[in-house]
Every structure is written in C-alpha cells, then in structure tokens.
C-alpha cells in the first residue's frame, strides 16, 4: 500500500496490547484508518493511550470484540484491506492449559474465518519465537530462522502451554489460509522490548524489570534473543505494504547474554541497583521452555529475511535503555 493510497482501512486485534499499540501508532502515522479491537473500550487503563495517539481522533475506531466471539470480530474486519491479528494472552503461568490454548487457537480460527468471509486481502498474524525456537532435537550447529518449528509434542509433554498455544495457533492459521486461499504473513518475534505506550506492565517488559531489579535470576551466561517493539510493528506493516512479502518472518535483532544486558543497563543507569547475579544458575531465559536451551548463541540466530524486509534493527542497547526509561517513568522501577 503506497502513501497515495493513504486512506486505506485496516484492523488490529487486541489493539491495546504492548505490540499492537505500536502497530496502531505507526499505522496512524502513515495515514491509515484503523479499526482496533479491544475487549473493553471503557477500560481506560487498557486503551486510554490509544485515544491519545496522533491521528486517533480522526482515524482510529475502537470495536468491542473478543476473539472467542466470532460475531464480535466481523464488524471490526468488515471493509478492511488488511487485518493484523495480535490478540492472544501472553503470560508465563495459566490456571489451566485452556486459558491460553483456547484464545490462541480458537481465537485465531475465528479471526481467520472472519477474514475469509469478509474477503480480506492480507492477514498478518503475530506468532512468536515460541513457535520457532524450541526443539530439543535440533542439531546444535543449526541456524535458527523462520524455517524452524517448535517441537510441539515435546512442549506438550513438558506442559509448556504458551509454546504449545502459539505453535498450534500459527499452524491453524496456515492450514486455514491454504484451504481458503487467504494471503497470510506471519511475524515471529522473540522477546520484545522497547518503550511502552500503555500504562500497564506487559509480560516481556516485566521480565526485563525483574532481571534488572534482581527478582529473576537467569544464568548470566544464558542468551536472550530480543527485538525492539518499533521494529516488530514495522515488520507487521511492511509485510502488508511489500507486495513481495511472503511466509514467516523470524523477528529478532540479536541474541545477547544476560551478563551483557545487565552490564549495559548498569553503565547507563548507575543509580539503579542492578544485581549482578554472577554464580546464580537458573538456566531459563525466561520463557519456561522445553529442552536443554540456555538460549540461542548469537551466531545461530538467522534474521536475514526480516533484516531485508525492514532494512535493519534498532541497536539493542537503545532498545534496553528506552525500555528501562519507560518502565521507570511509569513507576515500576525506582
């Protein structure tokens, strides 16, 4: 979609979320008219920030919709050129597996069905590195990129329900797209950091806060793959605008050790009491993952396809600093 066609209408599901808010912001900046779905338009804590975005007054319309309620989705996607499906619960722990499996999988089915019925030209789904990275059978020397899939049976056995949910939801979307001839693009971001637009603390921002304040202790040598939320939003939009875009995009700027993350943050914010964690041996990189992972080393990260789509990533230290500044501004860190 070129700028001269700037009056095009698009829909973003789960518009008040961390990533979706940035997609909405960038879409409005580019002149799009945006239909944003939210579960409760009157909840200012969750969607008040959307109404403040430049251009929102004229070109953002919020629709009350739950992805589990097919009929609520249809009016939001009706008349849209493209739909960005981001809505999905993202937490580490759920009371029951269905708390994430059902909204992820059935929610995706409902959105895809509505898109098919309403003849939407392009659907961009926010999947996750959770659907790409976790396979204990993958050879150590293999580069991880969008050709990789998480081993869902292994994750199911280990009760890693978020990983199962994201993988199954994405597979559901591909199956549906193929059967119905729908044009689907999928963005698979790893840990997403960067400035918050919303006032609440989303799960990935909370992870960084906990690492910095020392209440979460990943092994210093373990790697965390990360990407800036502004680049993630850009990838979603370019997946629609770039006619040549195709398939999955593993959206990762780089993989960095927790030791280096803390070092950078401490240098920039010496007044913050960052704990060093040396010697602590929690091997998790945060997502409670299956298998032997201690994170993916930098040289095994394959981000060529997304680099070509978006033209390069925001430097990771900038991402970290902007996240911390934003979290502090909202009072979640001293």
Ligand X SMILES: NC(=O)c1ccc[n+]([C@@H]2O[C@H](COP(=O)([O-])OP(=O)(O)OC[C@H]3O[C@@H](n4cnc5c(N)ncnc54)[C@H](OP(=O)(O)O)[C@@H]3O)[C@@H](O)[C@H]2O)c1
Span near ligand X by CB under 6 A; candidates 60-68, 143-151, 176-184, 306-314: 60-68
- The pair of three-digit structure tokens given for residue 286, joined into one six-digit string: 């945060």
124 lies in the binding site for ligand X (CB under 6 A): no
Burial category of 38 from C-beta neighbours within 10 Å (exposed 0-12, middle 13-18, buried 19 and up): buried
**Residue with the shortest CB distance to ligand X:** 17
Q: Rounded to whole angstroms, how far apart are CA atoms 167 and 251?
A: 15
| Tokens describing residue 11 | 């829909």
286 lines the binding site for ligand X (CB under 6 A): no
Which CB sits closer to ligand X, 18 or 321?
18
Q: Which stretch binds ligand X (CB under 6 A): 10-18, 266-274, 295-303, 313-321?
A: 10-18
Compute φ and ψ for 301, nearest 5 degrees: -90, 125
Tokens of 243: 């006619």
Note if 183 is an active site residue: no
| Catalytic pick among 46, 166, 209, 234 | 166
CA distance 155 to 288: 10
DSSP state letter for 108: H
Per rule CB under 6 A, is residue 41 in the interface with ligand X?
no
Does residue 322 belong to the site contacting ligand X (CB under 6 A)? no
Give how far the C-alpha of residue 322 lies from the chain's centroid of Cα atoms, to the nearest Å. Answer: 17
Out of 87, 100, 239, 274, the residue judged to bind ligand X by CB under 6 A: 87
Element (H, E) at 156: helix 152-157
Contacts of 263 (CB under 8 A, 6+ apart): none
CB of 19 to ligand X, least distance (A): 4
Which range of residues in 1-9, 16-24, 27-35, 313-321 is near ligand X by CB under 6 A?
16-24
Using CB under 6 A as the binding rule, whether residue 17 contacts ligand X is answered as yes
- Residues involved in catalysis: 166
Residues near ligand X, by CB under 6 A: 14, 16-20, 38-39, 46, 66-68, 86-90, 103, 107, 126, 128-129, 166, 189, 191-192, 202, 204
């Amino acid at each position: 979609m070129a700028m001269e066609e700037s009056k095009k209408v698009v829909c973003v599901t789960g518009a008040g979320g961390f990533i979706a808010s940035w997609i909405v912001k960038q879409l409005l900046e580019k002149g799009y008219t945006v239909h944003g779905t939210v579960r409760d338009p009157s909840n200012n804590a969750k969607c008040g920030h959307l109404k403040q975005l430049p251009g929102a007054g004229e070109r953002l319309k919020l629709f009350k919709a739950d992805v589990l309620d097919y009929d609520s989705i249809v009016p939001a996607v009706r008349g849209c050129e493209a739909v960005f499906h981001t809505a999905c619960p993202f937490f580490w722990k759920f009371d029951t597996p269905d708390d994430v499996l059902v909204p992820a999988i059935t929610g995706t089915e409902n959105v895809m069905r509505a898109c098919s019925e309403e003849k939407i030209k392009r659907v961009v789904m926010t999947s996750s590195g959770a659907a790409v990275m976790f396979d204990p059978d993958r050879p150590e020397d293999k580069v991880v990129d969008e050709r990789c899939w998480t081993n869902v049976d292994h994750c199911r056995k280990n009760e890693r329900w978020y990983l199962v949910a994201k993988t199954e939801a994405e597979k559901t979307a591909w199956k549906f797209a193929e059967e119905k001839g729908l044009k689907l693009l999928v963005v698979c971001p790893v840990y997403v950091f960067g400035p918050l637009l919303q006032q609440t603390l989303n799960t990935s921002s909370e992870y960084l806060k906990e690492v910095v304040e020392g209440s979460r202790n990943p092994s210093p040598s373990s790697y965390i793959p990360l990407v800036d939320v502004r680049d993630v939003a850009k990838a979603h939009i370019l997946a629609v605008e770039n006619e040549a875009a195709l398939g999955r995009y593993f959206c990762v700027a780089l993989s960095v050790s927790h030791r280096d993350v803390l070092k950078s943050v401490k240098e920039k914010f010496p007044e913050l009491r960052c704990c060093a964690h040396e010697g602590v041996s929690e091997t998790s990189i945060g997502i409670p993952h299956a298998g032997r992972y201690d994170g993916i080393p930098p040289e095994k990260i394959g981000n060529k396809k997304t680099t070509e789509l978006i033209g390069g990533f925001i430097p990771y230290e900038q991402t970290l600093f902007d996240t911390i500044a934003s979290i502090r501004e909202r009072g979640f860190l001293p």
